[in-house]
Structure 1
């Protein structure tokens, strides 16, 4: 628009600070308009999130694959780009470029402000809805610091609170790197009582119990508890997680179903840890307290604050914990059993009508090798793994990415920056841009 002026206009005095404020106002207004254009695009459409807010995207300052891979094409199941990414993942030079050693984190976290800025952590709450619904996380790890740091960056929000349990057997460089990362955030802390975690033993449960207690006693009155391991990664933004948890209306979400006959031995025999391994003693266990039905589940759960309070304080549950501490893999039945105890907040009645599988629970998605199958197979639970298998679990590759983002789960397992870094990079980039597009 053209302004009419007199032949001798008076040039008004404008304070330099006013110019700055005016520029900020115009910039903020433009950003607000652009945000409104994407605010309601909640259907899965990768191009809408990858292309919008691209100037706010981040790169992996440790040497990311963004210059070598087209994440948008991978998200759209472009066969050529997926094959290119697979071949790249086999390249030693590429792996050397994208791997971040423990020493990097030890040195980089000496300057926390620079570390958070260079790694582009979201240190401000993106909207009021998230601010009013803080979450609590327990993260149990023993290696792969790079995996952990990418996970923390993907789920970090200043209103949440995070307890990190590092196995006491972990290498000194792992502990030092994790300590450095944790020290840079006021709402992230190391568990007060770390333990030596032995596979399939009570110690795995104890690690989460110790974090539960620390989180419950923290100053943040969080709404839901989520436990993770270092090879998990989110499939949803923090806002999406908040909205899905709010929709539970206080209920918990976790696998809880009748224990298969082939697993009954785990809770009818006495086990103990000998020389760092869990072994059967030959003794039989007494029945569980209060004749509680022992149900099958897994170690990873979404639980209300009330559920956690019951775990820590309910005398019935304390008796159950005591009974379970010499069983095999108690993490795969304990939370599921507590979920069906009448009176526990957010729980379900013990009747089989209320059984829930890991597919229907929202806590965590895992591709078990035995349940995979070719497309169109009526017996398959999910399509074949596009990465590789470790202990019969799929380590996701780039070909799994689109399928992963179509699922309703909050998190998935396993991801590995050592073998499939591209899938992690593309997933975190997608989630970051989507989070920015959904902010207030």
Structure 2
């Protein structure tokens, strides 16, 4: 039903908790580990995943914040998942510091009620976020550890294309994943965004809104994120703590980010307990059909 791509670069134990919270035998999972994280982390996660069917590691490459390498990991992950199975209907990307707010049963039911839709934030970059236009006008390139801007080179955007922007985190239909993987229309977007700052927040949005693909767009990535100021980058996602428990437990979104078990591990305990209680209802055969009906009614009610 669901194909997950997880992007990991640290905190192996926290990743394991996330993975267990989203694991389902009928889903498929591809994990990319930042090559810069080193062989110890890669081996630990590889050994952990060996106990779970329908999982595989993507070839590790450097994943530099702000660089096209993140888009490349996404595209390679989507391609890998398409080859793994022809049965899944939705693609979801997560970082190793995300966590689900709903059970897999709920998420699967929710997405089943929204077949063919695309969940991602999409904004006209020129009209709504003109402060970010330097990202596409400046020429940038990656070295092993950072993105470097060449101030001398200023670029014009792709002719007859409107730039869009949003967040990196998405829920995409299989139809769009097939399109972005195989359509010849995608080449010019890859060529341009390869030298674009924070390409992962604009690539998929711009492709979706400027090609022959006609999306059923839900302008929401279904993530609970608390953005706070951070230097010249302006905003970053705040680490949730146990003080945010009520906010997260009553939140309508499917996932939240971000979490740092070294800052506060108690909030993960709270969320795990909540998911465990919900899953116990599903696991009880006598309650299974009743629970499925309740989930479906809840999904329908939230849409209203």
Task: Please indicate the TM-score interval, normalised by the length of the shorter structure.
Answer: 0.7 to 0.9
Give, in angstroms, the shift of residue 186 of structure 1.
Answer: 2.1
The structure whose Rg is larger is 1
**Is 2:163 the counterpart of 1:319?**
no
Note the residue ranges of structure 1 that are not aligned, 5 or more in a row.
1-133, 349-353, 371-390
Query: TM-score by structure 1 length?
Result: 0.60
Q: Is the 8 A contact 1:250 1:345 kept in 2?
A: no
**Is 2:30 the counterpart of 1:163?**
yes
**Is 2:153 the counterpart of 1:283?**
yes
Q: Any runs of at least 4 consecutive aligned residues in structure 1 with deviations exceeding 4 A, and if so which?
A: none
2:227 is matched with which residue?
A: 368
* Aligned alpha-carbon RMSD (Å): 1.8
Candidates 1, 9, 14, aligned match of 1:147: 14
Q: Distance in 2 between matches of 1:204 and 1:243?
A: 29
Q: Residues 221-265 of structure 1, C-alpha deviation per residue, up to 9 Å, x if partnerless?
A: 201000000000001111111122122231101010122111000
Give, in angstroms, the shift of residue 304 of structure 1.
Answer: 0.3
Q: Distance in 2 between matches of 1:273 and 1:159?
A: 37
Q: Secondary structure at the match of 2:79?
A: helix
2:92 is matched with which residue?
A: 226
Q: Is the 8 A contact 1:298 1:335 kept in 2?
A: no
Change (3 A) 1:342 1:327: closer
Q: Distance in 2 between matches of 1:420 and 1:242?
A: 29
1:30 is matched with which residue?
A: none
2:246 is matched with which residue?
A: 402
Q: Is the 8 A contact 2:185 2:211 kept in 1?
A: no
Note the residue ranges of structure 2 that are not aligned, 5 or more in a row.
230-234, 289-304
Q: Is the 8 A contact 2:92 2:170 kept in 1?
A: yes
Q: Counterparts in 2 of 1:277-356, with a 5 A limit?
A: 277-281=146-150, 282-289=152-159, 291-344=160-213, 346-348=215-217, 356=219
Q: Distance in 1 between matches of 2:133 and 2:85?
A: 41
Q: Residues 194-215 of structure 1, C-alpha deviation per residue, up to 9 Å, x if partnerless?
A: 2111110000111111111100
Candidates 122, 133, 139, aligned match of 1:256: 122
Give, in angstroms, the shift of residue 345 of structure 1.
Answer: 5.3
Query: TM-score by structure 2 length?
Result: 0.86
Q: Is the 8 A contact 1:367 1:394 kept in 2?
A: yes
Q: How many residues align?
A: 276
Give, in angstroms, the shift of residue 416 of structure 1.
Answer: 1.4
Q: Secondary structure at the match of 2:117?
A: coil
Change (3 A) 1:139 1:219: same
2:80 is matched with which residue?
A: 214
| Greater share of residues in strand | 2
Give, in angstroms, the shift of residue 347 of structure 1.
Answer: 4.3
Q: Is the 8 A contact 1:341 1:347 kept in 2?
A: no
